[in-house]
């Protein structure tokens, strides 16, 4: 925008001030006649300038531009209409200027609606109806008291009378639209909209003054109406220059103040209609009053609909969608209310219930079956509670109960009863399914007298019950420190993945014949920023509870494959084994993920060994077997981990093709003194040889055990007798010093103070 255009508002203000000064100072001819240069040229010049300034302002309004364009167009059309009228039809009752004058009004209606709508905090019909009620009510009052005077002076043809009546009607409608536009902005317009409305009201006052003076035949050039017209147009034109570039929606006032004007308007309309039954009232006023009440009635209907919707929304916000029980928010409110009863000497207990084995149901039968099970168990809980008790679903497979007027001993007894009820088989997907439950109990006032403490203590007790597999656990303050430690770790575990705190150590697999490392097993460690290096037994339960097993597996896979690429680049020909958690085998995207990972790092698929346990194959044998076949078809090696401790390993050996069998460490313990153990290991060696599979014996911790295994024909071993898990660089240094069957003399002790004994293995996920 040029500097000249930026100065347009200033030029308009100066011209208006000069015009008003001249109007006040000029000496008019006798009878109040016109002064051509002032009343015709100067007056119309200011009108035209107002339209031009409004259009220039619209071009810079950004977000508000459509509304201000319409304002500029309306002012410009009005200016043209006045020029046509004074120049061509000054004394005519009807003229071609009338359609132009009347075109000003619908444009202003549209402009006000556009600008109000863009500022509305909410665009609901209810707010617009509030404005309509207010606007129509005010219009009805104005029509009742002003219109009779205007109509009394109406004369001429029917067309002339109709046109003359159109002006006050249009002004009345403009007032109604202005009030209707205020409602959506909470009756608090911003600066630009307030100035616009003020300018339009000033113009409306000028119109009414002119019509009243015309009806009384007292209008003269230079009268008050002329001053108000110019002032109204100029104020309206300048409003667009105050428009913000980005409008912020305005919040509505409180319910009482926001409905005050609509209520007053509806009341006034009723009064007008009552008066109309006793004495003559102008038909226009009666019609507007009737419209006001109609809009008010419609508003009441919307109010009831909004109230119903609000009630339903509040109910939905506090209700669990699946079970229709109260949700966490509602349950916390119930606990708060129960806390308030403590001052009356009452007691209550909080029970937190976490289902055991629910994840396996979801993984095996699908989420639909899991949802059906949750809904059924919600009904079981409701059936076993008193009418004064409360039950809620906090989320996932976690429920909560409030036992009112219950002492601690009774609460523990009832918790056992609830656990027994939940353990009963439930019919889901044409199957009888039963799950266990771990329940934590806290009591008020024994354990606390506030919601936060009671919920936290019940959660601590629930975790203790799950950890100890005791079913029910009452909060004990002495165990709080260790549980607080667990809670802190539980909060840290999610951040551990984002901060790359999960690292991988590697334990070698030794070829006894060649006397060298032929492979490694990737083992997860948590490099905690304040606690140091943590073993899996310290964080795997937290990973499982947070449903992060698959994320852990993929994190280890990423690290292992990248390490494979580094070793291949250095000419080290080792395989790397990664344990696959049961949920991973049910994830049909795993084969694609592994293939992409290998391709991205340019690693041969045969160098990656994926270790699975027989437990992984039991949950959903068909899906798991399909995943195993796809992985093996892609070239990766498959190892059956912890062989010999399950109940179906031989079946899987017959139906699935494995590259490797890892004999569980419990079968290789104390072989030098265990004849039956040697027989089992020897049989396993023969079985693996017959099936064309590689046998790895885990858990070898002594030289005597190593020699016993070698004597039985086993070639590959893994255990602390040779090396503990090490970081990659330390493992490379150790491997270079390995010679024959001699144990490495390089220190292989990780920096932590305590460590598990024996070979690291887990039947569930990444070895610990």
Looking at the fold, whether 332 and 299 belong to one and the same domain comes out as no
Out of 254, 269, 303, a domain closes at 303
- Whether the per-residue pLDDT at 478 is higher than 60: the answer is no
Cβ-based neighbours of 652, under 8 Å, separated by 6 or more: 614, 617, 640, 658
Contact 398, 466 (CB under 8 A): no
Residue 398 annotated to the active site? no
What are 389-398's pLDDT values in tens digits? 999 999 889 9
Which is more confident, 480 or 685?
A: 685
Which is more confident, 406 or 34?
A: 406
Residue 508: per-residue pLDDT: 94
For the chain, helix (H) and strand (E) counts, in that order, are 28, 16
Residue 38: per-residue pLDDT: 78
- Whether the per-residue pLDDT at 414 is higher than 90: the answer is yes
Range of the domain at 348: 328-475
Looking at the fold, whether 636 and 586 belong to one and the same domain comes out as yes
Which is more confident, 690 or 224?
A: 690
- Whether the per-residue pLDDT at 282 is higher than 70: the answer is no
Is pTM, for the whole model, over 0.85? no
| SS3 state at 5 | helix
Looking at the fold, whether 572 and 462 belong to one and the same domain comes out as no
- Whether the per-residue pLDDT at 757 is higher than 90: the answer is no
- Whether the per-residue pLDDT at 656 is higher than 60: the answer is yes
18, 574, 721, 738, 741 from 696: Cα distances, Å = 104, 15, 14, 19, 17
Find residue 352's DSSP bridge partners.
400, 440
Q: What is the 3-state secondary structure (H, E, C) of 649-690?
A: HHHHHHHCCCCEEEECHHHCCCHHHCHHHHHHHHHHHHHHHH
We report the CATH number of the domain holding residue 561 as: 3.20.20.450
Looking at the fold, whether 429 and 356 belong to one and the same domain comes out as yes
Residue 209: per-residue pLDDT: 79
**For range 190-211, the mean pLDDT:** 84
Residue 759: per-residue pLDDT: 41
- In a domain, residue 345? The reply is yes
Residue 701: per-residue pLDDT: 87
Looking at the fold, whether 452 and 581 belong to one and the same domain comes out as no
Which is more confident, 239 or 649?
A: 239
d(CA 322, CA 324): 6
18, 38, 224, 353, 672 from 24: Cα distances, Å = 10, 11, 10, 86, 123
- Whether the per-residue pLDDT at 223 is higher than 80: the answer is no
What are 322-355's pLDDT values in tens digits? 898 999 989 999 999 999 998 888 999 999 999 9
Contact 65, 59 (CB under 8 A): yes
**For range 739-766, the mean pLDDT:** 38
**For range 641-661, the mean pLDDT:** 78
- Whether the per-residue pLDDT at 658 is higher than 60: the answer is yes
Looking at the fold, whether 458 and 530 belong to one and the same domain comes out as no
Contact 729, 746 (CB under 8 A): no
pLDDT band per the 50, 70, 90 thresholds, residue 277: low
- In a domain, residue 104? The reply is yes
Tokens for 487, please give them. Answer: 């809670």
Residue 695: per-residue pLDDT: 94
- In a domain, residue 484? The reply is no
DSSP 496-541: HHHTT-EEEEEEEEEETTTTEEEEEEEEEEEEETTTEEE-HHHHHH
Residue 388: per-residue pLDDT: 92
Find the helix or strand (DSSP H, E) in which 398 lies.
Answer: strand 398-404
| Half-sphere exposure at residue 115, Cβ-oriented, CA atoms within 13 angstroms | 35
Which is more confident, 464 or 753?
A: 464
Residue in the structure block whose two tokens are 């699975």 = 612
Looking at the fold, whether 410 and 505 belong to one and the same domain comes out as no
| SS3 state at 352 | strand
- Whether the per-residue pLDDT at 404 is higher than 90: the answer is yes
Contact 726, 740 (CB under 8 A): no
DSSP 270-308: HHHHHHHTTS---HHHHHHHHHHHHHHHHHHHHHHHHHH
pLDDT band per the 50, 70, 90 thresholds, residue 247: very low
- In a domain, residue 755? The reply is no
Residue in the structure block whose two tokens are 């195993």 = 628
Looking at the fold, whether 177 and 256 belong to one and the same domain comes out as yes
Closest CA to 392 of 303, 497, 319: 319
Our CA angle for 343, 346, 350, nearest 5°, is 110
Our CA angle for 237, 76, 18, nearest 5°, is 55
What's the chain's average pLDDT? Answer: 80
- Whether the per-residue pLDDT at 10 is higher than 70: the answer is yes
What are 585-605's pLDDT values in tens digits? 888 899 999 999 999 999 999
- In a domain, residue 241? The reply is yes
Closest CA to 175 of 143, 149, 147: 143
Q: Is the dihedral of CA 217, 221, 223, 225 positive or negative?
A: positive
- Whether the per-residue pLDDT at 67 is higher than 50: the answer is yes
The C-alpha R_g of the chain, in whole angstroms, comes to: 43
d(CA 70, CA 237): 11
Domain count, the chain: 3
- In a domain, residue 190? The reply is yes
- In a domain, residue 464? The reply is yes
We report the CATH number of the domain holding residue 390 as: 3.30.70.270
Q: How many CB atoms lie within 10 A of CB 661?
A: 23
Buried residues in 157-194 as b, exposed as e (16+ CB within 10 A): eeeeeebbbebbbbbbbbbbbbbbbbbbbbbbbbebbe
Catalytic residue among 660, 698, 701, 760: 698
pLDDT band per the 50, 70, 90 thresholds, residue 768: very low
Tokens for 612, please give them. Answer: 């699975």
CA quadruple 632, 364, 654, 609: dihedral, nearest 10: 30
Residue 652: per-residue pLDDT: 76
Tokens for 366, please give them. Answer: 């699908």
- Whether the per-residue pLDDT at 102 is higher than 70: the answer is yes
pLDDT band per the 50, 70, 90 thresholds, residue 750: very low
220 phi and psi angles, rounded to 5 deg: -135, 155
pLDDT band per the 50, 70, 90 thresholds, residue 276: low
Residue 744: per-residue pLDDT: 38
With pLDDT > 90 as the criterion, what percentage of the chain qualifies?
30
Residue 315: per-residue pLDDT: 62
What are 368-379's pLDDT values in tens digits? 888 999 999 999
pLDDT band per the 50, 70, 90 thresholds, residue 359: confident
- In a domain, residue 490? The reply is no
**For range 539-564, the mean pLDDT:** 89
With pLDDT > 70 as the criterion, what percentage of the chain qualifies?
78
User: Looking at residue 401, what DSSP letter applies?
Assistant: E
DSSP 535-578: -HHHHHHHHHHTT-HHHHHHHHHHHHHHHHHHHHHTT---EEEE
Q: Is the dihedral of CA 423, 425, 427, 428 positive or negative?
A: positive
CA quadruple 77, 83, 85, 90: dihedral, nearest 10: 160
Q: How many CB atoms lie within 10 A of CB 664?
A: 22
Residue 319: per-residue pLDDT: 86
d(CA 133, CA 563): 75
78 phi and psi angles, rounded to 5 deg: -65, -40
Looking at the fold, whether 338 and 288 belong to one and the same domain comes out as no
- Whether the per-residue pLDDT at 144 is higher than 80: the answer is no
pLDDT band per the 50, 70, 90 thresholds, residue 505: very high
| SS3 state at 763 | coil
d(CA 554, CA 538): 19
Stretch among 17-26, 107-116, 136-145, 748-757 having the lowest mean pLDDT = 748-757
**Maximum CA pair distance of the chain?**
139
Looking at the fold, whether 359 and 461 belong to one and the same domain comes out as yes
Residue 222 CA to its chain's centroid (Å): 63
Tokens for 338, please give them. Answer: 């129960």
Which is more confident, 480 or 722?
A: 722
Looking at the fold, whether 573 and 722 belong to one and the same domain comes out as yes
Which is more confident, 577 or 743?
A: 577
Looking at the fold, whether 121 and 251 belong to one and the same domain comes out as yes
Find residue 695's DSSP bridge partners.
661
Which is more confident, 294 or 341?
A: 341
Find residue 402's DSSP bridge partners.
350, 390
Residue 484: per-residue pLDDT: 63
């Amino acid at each position: 925008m040029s500097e000249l255009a930026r100065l347009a508002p200033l030029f308009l203000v100066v011209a208006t001030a000069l015009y008003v000064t001249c109007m006040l100072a000029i000496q008019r001819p006798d009878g109040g006649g016109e002064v051509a240069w002032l009343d015709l040229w100067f007056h119309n010049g200011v009108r035209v300038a107002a339209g031009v300034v409004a259009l220039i302002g619209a071009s810079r309004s950004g977000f508000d531009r459509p509304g201000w364009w319409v304002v500029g167009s309306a002012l410009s059309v009005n200016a043209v209409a006045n020029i046509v009228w004074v120049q061509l039809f000054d004394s005519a009752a009807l003229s071609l200027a009338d359609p132009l004058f009347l075109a000003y009004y619908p444009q202003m209606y549209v402009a006000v609606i556009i600008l109000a709508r863009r500022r509305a905090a909410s665009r609901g019909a209810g707010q617009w109806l509030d404005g309509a009620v207010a606007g129509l009510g005010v219009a009805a009052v104005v029509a009742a008291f002003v219109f009779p005077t205007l109509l009394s002076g109406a004369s001429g043809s029917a067309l002339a009378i109709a046109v003359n009546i159109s002006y006050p009607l249009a002004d009345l409608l403009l007032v109604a639209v202005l009030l209707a536009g205020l409602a959506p902005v909470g009756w608090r317009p911003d600066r630009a909209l307030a100035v616009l409305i003020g300018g339009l009201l000033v113009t409306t006052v000028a119109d009414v003054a002119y019509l009243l003076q015309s009806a009384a035949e007292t209008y003269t050039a230079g009268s008050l109406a002329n001053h108000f017209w110019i002032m109204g147009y100029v104020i309206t034109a300048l409003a667009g220059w105050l428009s913000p570039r980005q409008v912020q929606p305005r919040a509505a006032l409180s319910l009482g103040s926001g409905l005050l004007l609509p209520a007053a308007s509806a009341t006034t309309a009723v009064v007008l209609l009552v008066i109309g039954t006793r004495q003559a009232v102008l038909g226009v006023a009666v019609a507007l009053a009737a419209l006001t009440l109609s809009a008010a009635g419609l508003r009441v209907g919307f109010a009831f609909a909004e109230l119903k919707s609000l009630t339903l929304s509040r109910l939905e916000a506090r209700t669990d969608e699946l079970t229709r029980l109260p949700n966490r928010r509602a349950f916390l409110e119930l606990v708060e209310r129960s806390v308030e009863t403590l001052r009356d000497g009452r007691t209550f207990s909080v029970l937190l219930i976490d289902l055991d084995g629910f994840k396996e149901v979801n993984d095996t039968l699908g989420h639909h079956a899991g949802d059906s099970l949750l809904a059924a168990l919600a009904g079981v809980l409701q059936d076993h509670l008193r009418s004064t008790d409360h039950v809620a679903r906090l989320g996932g497979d976690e429920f909560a109960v409030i036992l009112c007027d219950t002492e601690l001993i009774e609460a523990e007894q009832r918790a056992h009863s609830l656990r027994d009820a939940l353990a009963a088989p439930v019919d889901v997907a044409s199957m009888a399914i039963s799950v266990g439950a771990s329940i934590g109990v806290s009591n008020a006032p024994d354990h606390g007298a506030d919601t936060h403490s009671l919920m936290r203590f019940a959660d601590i007790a629930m975790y203790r019950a799950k950890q100890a597999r005791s079913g029910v656990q009452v909060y004990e303050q002495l165990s709080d420190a260790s549980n607080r430690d667990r809670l802190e770790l539980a909060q840290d575990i999610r951040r551990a993945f984002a901060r790359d705190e999960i690292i991988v150590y590697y334990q070698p697999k030794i070829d006894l014949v060649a006397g060298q490392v032929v492979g490694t097993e990737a083992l997860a460690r948590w490099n905690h920023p304040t606690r140091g290096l943590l073993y899996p037994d310290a964080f795997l339960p937290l990973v499982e509870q947070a449903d992060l097993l698959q994320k852990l597996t993929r994190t280890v896979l990423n690290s292992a494959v990248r390490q494979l690429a580094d070793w291949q680049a250095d000419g080290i020909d080792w395989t790397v084994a990664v344990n696959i958690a049961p949920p991973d085998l049910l994830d049909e995207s795993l084969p694609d993920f592994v293939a992409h990972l290998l391709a991205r790092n340019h690693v041969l698929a045969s160098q990656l060994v994926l270790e699975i346990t027989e437990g992984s194959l039991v949950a959903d044998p068909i899906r798991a077997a399909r995943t195993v076949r796809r992985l093996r078809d892609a070239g990766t090696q498959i190892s059956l981990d912890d062989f010999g401790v399950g109940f179906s390993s031989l079946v899987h050996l017959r139906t699935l093709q494995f590259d490797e069998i890892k004999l569980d460490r419990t079968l290789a313990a104390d072989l030098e003194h265990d004849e039956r153990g040697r027989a089992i290991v020897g049989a396993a060696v023969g079985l693996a040889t017959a099936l064309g599979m590689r046998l790895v014996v885990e858990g070898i911790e002594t030289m005597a055990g190593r020699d016993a295994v070698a004597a039985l024909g086993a070639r590959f071993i893994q255990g602390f007798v040779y090396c503990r898990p090490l970081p990659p660089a330390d493992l490379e240094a150790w491997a270079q010093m390995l010679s024959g069957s001699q144990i490495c003399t390089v220190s292989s002790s990780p920096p932590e103070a305590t460590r598990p004994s024996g070979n690291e293995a887990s039947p569930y996920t990444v070895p610990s």
